Structure 1
Amino acid sequence: MNTPLDLYSIIGFFGTACIIGAYFYLTAVEKPNPWVLHGTNLAGAGLLTVSLLVHTNWPSLVLEGFWAAIAVWGLSKALLKKRRTEPEESEA
């Protein structure tokens, strides 16, 4: 392996750290905050995608697309849940 450790590789390492950190958070916390969990996963997928666009690995790039889509879906669910519960909170 002769790939240099360039800026894009470093960006990819930060993306990896985000995804691993989000998984650790999911495992370590009793009731994880979906904004933290899915937001961190989305950031990680985005950073890894930047790296993979330069150092192309097609299977990994496809994986990051799915990872990002799942994170967006999780954030959308959290937003819809928040919108449903906001009127109830203001009535109390």
Structure 2
Amino acid sequence: MTVGGIISALIVGLIIGALGRLVVPGKQSIPIWLTIVIGIVAALIGTFIANALGVGDTSGIDWIEVLIQVVIAAAGVAVAAGAYGRRQVR
């Protein structure tokens, strides 16, 4: 992976993580670095699922792939916020 690929993965991860965070209701008290990591993982898993379903490579913007990635990121943010929040209360 090139430096450009790493930078673009960070940017996509930030965007997908932020969108996932916006979808989850309430306040999430997780750090931004965790949101980015969740976004990167969600983007990779979402791309794999979209390709498996045959909707990963379409002409134009792959809206179904983005939707899958955001849903996975939202689930990841919700789980992380719950686990991180419980850890902070102690």
- Fold agreement, TM-score > 0.5: no
**Which bracket does the TM-score occupy, shorter chain normalised?**
0.3 to 0.5
* TM-score normalized by the length of structure 1: 0.36
* TM-score normalized by the length of structure 2: 0.37
Larger relative helix fraction? 1
- Which one has a bigger Cα radius of gyration? 1
